[in-house]
Structure 1
Amino acid sequence: MREHPLNSNRVFNNADSFAQAFDEAWQKHEQSDPHHGLDPAAKVDLILEGLGEHPFLQNQPELAQQVATFRLRLLGLAGPTQ
């Protein structure tokens, strides 16, 4: 079983819970491997794979992908090209 990146044991089947988990996983990856060389799309795939046990991602994978893309734009995490 994969370790969930949230500091809390409370995970919910909704977009807000998924967005928080995604943000935390993205930042954790940036801190642990800042020179990873992945383009944003490849990194999203990697992060989603790591969050594979999140109920929102399991039940609504297309919407979870949209939430992830939105979070990148909203927080400026993908750089100026996103």
Structure 2
Amino acid sequence: MNLETSSENLYNNADSFAMAFDAAWKDCDLGNNKDIKIDEKIEIAFEKIKNHPFLISNPIQSKNVARFRIKLLGLA
């Protein structure tokens, strides 16, 4: 996932971030790798969406949203 070439609108809010994070997490395809810790997987996904305005302005909240999405959707 490359936000630079994405045609979707990006907003500085948690909903927009959650949608971008879900796509980046799915794009990483790390679900079966048990050697990588959740925080490491989150950082890999964040690298894919590093230019998202919510991630830039709210890095701590972004990590909380990411953990919530992982738990909510059973992605771990």
TM range (shorter): 0.7 to 0.9
Aligned residue-pair number: 75
Structure 2: runs of 5 or more not aligned: none
Identity of aligned residues (%): 39
Distance in 2 separating the partners of 1:11 and 1:42: 24
Residues 55-70 of structure 1 correspond to what in structure 2 (within 5 A)? 55-70=53-68
Residue 10 of structure 1 aligns to a residue whose secondary structure is: coil
The one of the two structures with greater contact order (alpha-carbon pairs below 8 A, sep at least 6) is: 2
**TM score, norm. by length of structure 1:** 0.77
Distance in 1 separating the partners of 2:68 and 2:31: 22
**TM score, norm. by length of structure 2:** 0.83
Structure 1: runs of 5 or more not aligned: none
The alignment's C-alpha RMSD in Å is 2.4
* CA 27–5 in structure 1, closer or farther in 2 if over 3 Å, else same: farther
